[in-house]
Structure 1
Amino acid sequence: MQPTSYSRPQIILHWVIATLVFFQIFMHDGIVGAWDGRMDGTLPNQPTINPHAVAGALILVLVLWRLVLRRRRGVPGLPEGEHPALKALATGTHAALNLLLILMVLSGAAAWMTGIEAIGDAHSIARLVLVPLVILHILAALYHHFWLKTDVLRRMLGRP
């Protein structure tokens, strides 16, 4: 049977991951400077711990945990009567966000550990896909709440 709401852990994981992703998006200059220093030889080419890497590792663990909870518990269904195209877009966006978050962490770690610039470039390009997906996700939640008057946003806020 499909649940009618998200569990408390699912809600908390969603908002913690969202906070960490915003941290990564808005506070990435430090890692860019460190990366540039490694590439031009002004910083040693050795793995180091930094806030960007720690946040990335947390994102990976939390996204995987969230996917396990999703698999074990399930998630509420999409609103009844919603156009099939919107349902497909919602499903695709969620899958792309989860996949992209996992791949970004793995590519970022691989780039940092190996110093291979092409991997770092792929990681940076992925950010150009992630940001529009995050914006689409937010706009869709607001569209559901204010225009369609569904419970999509309320249930992720833990409100019936």
Structure 2
Amino acid sequence: MTHDSPRYATIQIALHWGIFLLFALNYIVSDDMGRALRTKLEGGDPDQFAALTHPPVGLAILALTLIRIAVRLRLGAPALPPGKPLLNKLAHLGHGALYLLLLAVPLSGMAAWGAGIREAGDVHELLVTLTVLVIVGHALAALYHQLVLKDGLMDRIRPARR
């Protein structure tokens, strides 16, 4: 669904950047969390910082992503630039993949940490890598629009200037 505004709603912009920052934070402590999980599964005492920060931030990412999807379904999104059907199809696929991954990553993390399923930890790591690749592709596509096509697409998701 699209809407008439050339920009996303303020709540959509806040959710976009908030989820990105939380994902970046969790990515920074992901190595420590991997060690903490291995230690926990072996019956040891896991690293407290990673164990106390990574899981709740992951839950926040899951909750905010669900809210973001609900808001997207309710409010829609600005129309994509006309005359670029391939780029628009790739944008839809990329956004769909990103939403799916932002749901799957926390759920696999919950299965690994909460249920102690070692294989879920392996799946979680793979999904995180895929998410990073999709985020990098998303950022490169945004820069392509900004620097090559110069179509102002990035203005849709930038916080409002005061």
Considering the TM-score relative to the shorter chain, is it more than 0.5?
yes
1:129 aligns with 2:130: yes
Structure 2 stretches of 5 or more lacking a match? none
Identity of aligned residues (%): 37
Structure 1 stretches of 5 or more lacking a match? none
Match of 1:18 in 2: 20
Distance 2:52 2:32 in 1: 9
Tell me the matched-pair count: 156
**What is the Cα deviation at residue 115 of structure 1?**
1.0
**What is the Cα deviation at residue 126 of structure 1?**
0.9
Distance 2:15 2:64 in 1: 7
User: For the Cα contact (< 8 Å) 1:6–1:158, is it kept in 2?
Assistant: no
Distance 2:73 2:4 in 1: 12
1:2 aligns with 2:8: no
Give secondary structure in 2 for the equivalent of 1:79: coil
Distance 2:69 2:14 in 1: 13
Distance 1:22 1:158 in 2: 19
Match of 1:81 in 2: 83
Give secondary structure in 2 for the equivalent of 1:114: coil
**What is the Cα deviation at residue 110 of structure 1?**
1.2
Task: Name the CA shift for 1:159/1:80 in 2 (closer, same or farther; >3 Å).
Answer: farther
**What is the Cα deviation at residue 49 of structure 1?**
5.6
Give secondary structure in 2 for the equivalent of 1:50: helix
Match of 1:145 in 2: 146
- Give the root-mean-square deviation of aligned CA atoms: 1.8
**What is the Cα deviation at residue 158 of structure 1?**
3.7
Q: How does 1:1-160 map to 2 (within 5 A)?
A: 2-4=3-5, 5-43=7-45, 50-82=52-84, 84-159=85-160
C-alpha deviations, 1:6-64, integer Å up to 9, x for none?
111111110000101111222212211211211232227xxx96211111111111111
User: For the Cα contact (< 8 Å) 2:22–2:57, is it kept in 1?
Assistant: yes
